[in-house]
A and B are shown apart, each in its own frame.
Chain A
Amino acid sequence: MAGTPQLADPAWAYAPAPESAGIVSIAPEYGLFIDGQFRPAAAGGQLATINPATEEPLARVAEAAQADVDAAVTAATVAFERVWRPMPGAERAKYLYRIARIVQERAREFAVLESLDNGKPIRESRDVDVPLAAAHFFYYAGWADKLEHAGLGPQPRPLGVAGQIIPWNFPLLMAAWKLAPALAAGNTCVLKPAETTPLTALLLAEVCQQAGLPPGVVNVLTGAGATGAALVAHPGVRKIAFTGSTDVGRQIAAAVAGTSTRLTLELGGKAANIVFDDAPMDQAVEGIVNGIFFNQGHVCCAGSRLLVQESVLDEVTDRLRTRLAALRVGDPLDKNTDIGAINSREQLTKICELSDAGEAEGAQRWSPACQLPQRGFWFAPTIFTGVSQSHRIAREEIFGPVLSVLTFRTPDEAVAKANNTPYGLSAGVWTDKGSRVLWLAQRLRAGVVWANTFNKFDPASPFGGYRESGYGREGGRHGLAAYLDA
């Protein structure tokens, strides 16, 4: 019938809703942020940062070497002793409130820049990363003049210079998680963003300038692993806070052995997401999808091991396949995009290698039909069924959009399988029975337990791992303990 649109009719073709990349202006080159000023690396080293969705270069950033680390630590030490430590907490608070406000005011720039540099969907950077980063500054601002009420001791004292090394999966948010509590507690900071995602940390440095933050209180050193290692080894650093892989965490723990340097580590995970047969199934399926496909699965607390009660396995996997077929993979700046680009070629290679191992070890692989862009780093959302506990895809952190599905029959078996990992960052539980939620919450060896929800974050909520997922907490009152001598 003429005039009636068919599903295949071009009138129903997908219409992208791209955010404008022009919202943010990116300079061709960036320097290091030391003592309140941007300056090139002393030795002139530079790194390129690219857009992982297109492989186009975005900018060149300075690569900090030993002399730059020395300069930043010196600036931070002077700022600590002369300015930031003596300053009344109420004044420190006002600087942090200013930073929170400027991040809110420049939220669109931050969101676009984050999606360009990291590859994550604009919907996530706009609705999660940037608002949470502002919220962290706002939350900890209020602690700066209330530290004696934090329950850590009558006269908590700042530690000194904090060296903070952050990963590429939530570049701005991790910078906020590190800087906000450290500054509120009266420490000064040398922040090392990840090699592949330096741009929002540099924009945050500009925000610090705009807030009038005294020079040297926050320093940003872009660079790669060698820069981080130099920071860890620097004798002027009193505290190291690291978020990243468990392997590097182990190296840092060994590097600070025998010193008085304090250390907190937020490392990898292989979280179990446990679905019982009485779970609210619509919410559970959304929670499973959010748990593993949020941020392309580049999430240390991702629910990468789905444990489904055997009686509802088929129902859950059928619903998951239907839901995955509706996910949109592609341009991170498209407001409709659910899954953006993998952050780097290196990470894409790792995801491919582990997924191939999953197939080789006998698990069944499934992905929805989806067209991936020709350029850039992409990986279709993937589900493995028939996974056993010994498979590498059930043991190793993939850090990509890959879900391993295992089954259980009894609650005891669910607990045993969930805890059968050297990690212990997070866990999920889906059931309608309240007493069962609490019974599991008591037994899961994980720092965060999401019950009938997943991947929720809040500045007031402590976050951090058990076992080889690291130690120390970020967020909340507990997050202050990492930066105070009580």
Chain B
Amino acid sequence: MPDRGPAKASRAKASPAKAGPAGASEPVPRARLDVRKTYKLFIGGVFPRSESGRSYPVRTPGGDLLAYAAQASRKDARDAVVAARRAVSGWSGATAYNRGQVLYRVAEMLEGRAGQFAAEVAAAEGLTAMAARARVAAAIDRWVWYAGWPDKLAQVAGAVNPVAGPYVNFSLPEPVGVVAVLAPAASSLLGLVSVLAPVIATGNAAVVAASQDRPLPAATLAEVLATSDVPAGVVNLLTGYQAELAPVLAGHQDVDAIDLAGAAPASAADLERLAAGNLKRVLRAQRDSAGPDAAGAAGTEPDWAASPGTSRMLAFTEIKTVWHPAGI
């Protein structure tokens, strides 16, 4: 299908300018021309275009052109890993209370942009406005749910262990470090939030490859993160072709774990083999044919609206156990 110029993804409806005979001295009344957004990457807290200079067309499920997104290169992916690694010590070293506050701030910013996200999700996923609003609301509520976890997970997942001897012994969860996330292909915002929030709630830094075909809500989420006191580098968002980005992230020696949620089924085994190179923790994709996105771009995705539980957080934490003698 030939490009027909960007379709509307924003709420602003421009009424068509009336063309008609006009006097030579009288200007034609025109609706204001809207300012379109350039969708960029989000690396280390700034918004570069791809270092490769490439972009790719993003279309609605019906084939209409929505916009051009930056097509991240392998170099962009490696830069994002560097930025994430730099951010780990600060973010994981922040108090759990502080991380919870920052995450809640993200939810506040999401709420303020709910209308924009609804329009983008509707356009990306081919949903009615009402259905898109419901998904956005679920995404915001999901984020709020995770915002409450940083100062509770250690109490739920940690333990004081009654060892047979004069020792104090306790276990607690710690972030694994840098986590690569292949975001769900179909669920452009709720799915993305469902995989990203648990990674950073637990103190990790993330490098996210957004849905290849539905990347625009992710690019807008980056703008929210940039204005929510999330330290630079804690979340890095790449748009582009998964076949290009995923192997770099799966094989990267300075990535500690990878979430294959959105991995193309045909590539998942290869990515897991690459991840074995430095023994990354791998969270395999859970496929659920009953999910609402069963007919979506990913084939089958789990029902992202379902209650998530703690498993995604625990997948990206390590249990550390500390022993100390008790004596005089």
Contacts and interface: CB of A to CB of B under 8 A. Distances in A.
Interface of A: 135, 151, 153, 246, 249-251, 253-254, 257-260, 265, 267, 422, 437, 441, 446-453, 456, 458, 460-464, 466-468, 470-471, 473, 476-478, 481, 486
A478 B318 CA distance: 11
B311 A441 contact: no
B29 interface: no
B324 A422 contact: no
B289 interface: no
A174 to B, nearest CB: 18
Closest A-B pairs by Cβ, 5 of them:
A258-B269, A257-B272, A253-B276, A458-B163, A254-B276
A319 to B, nearest CB: 20
Contacts of A448: 320-323
A246 B123 CA distance: 48
Nearest to A457: B163
Nearest to A468: B279
B324 A477 contact: no
Nearest to A473: B319
Pick from B161, B281, B314, B319 the residue with the most CB of A within 10 Å: B319
B155 to A, nearest CB: 11
Nearest to A263: B282
A461 B276 contact: no
Contacts of A259: 269
Interface residues of B, number: 36
Contact of A461 (B169, B256, B279): B169
A476 B284 CA distance: 25
Given A249-B279, A458-B161, A464 B167 contact: no
Contacts of B157: 151
A468 B278 contact: yes
Contacts of B12: none
Given A151-B157, A254-B273, A258-B269, 8 more contacts: A257-B270, A447-B319, A451-B322, A456-B165, A460-B163, A460-B169, A461-B321, A471-B281
A452 B279 contact: no
Contacts of B325: 452-453
B279 A250 contact: yes
Interface string B157-198: 101011111010101000010000000000000000000000
A478 B279 contact: no
Contact of A466 (B162, B165, B284, B318): B318
Nearest to A463: B321
B319 A464 contact: yes
Contact of A478 (B171, B269, B270, B281): B171
24 contacts: A135-B164, A151-B156, A250-B279, A253-B272, A257-B269, A257-B272, A441-B322, A449-B320, A451-B323, A452-B325, A453-B167, A456-B323, A458-B161, A458-B164, A458-B169, A460-B164, A461-B163, A462-B159, A471-B279, A473-B319, A476-B159, A476-B161, A476-B171, A481-B314
A348 B307 CA distance: 54
B2 interface: no
A467 B255 CA distance: 10
Contacts of A265: 279
Contacts, number: 108
A448 B169 CA distance: 10
Interface of B: 156-157, 159, 161-165, 167, 169, 171, 176, 256, 268-270, 272-273, 275-279, 281, 284, 309, 311, 314, 318-325
A153 B308 CA distance: 12
B272 A452 contact: no
A225 B323 CA distance: 35
A447 B320 contact: yes
A258 B272 contact: yes
Contacts of A451: 322-324
Pick from B167, B270, B281, B318 the residue with the most CB of A within 10 Å: B318
B257 to A, nearest CB: 9
Nearest to A461: B161
Nearest to A446: B320
A449 B171 contact: no
B7 to A, nearest CB: 38
Contacts of B318: 447, 466
A342 B279 CA distance: 29
A223 B276 CA distance: 25
Nearest to B281: A471
A135 B272 CA distance: 36
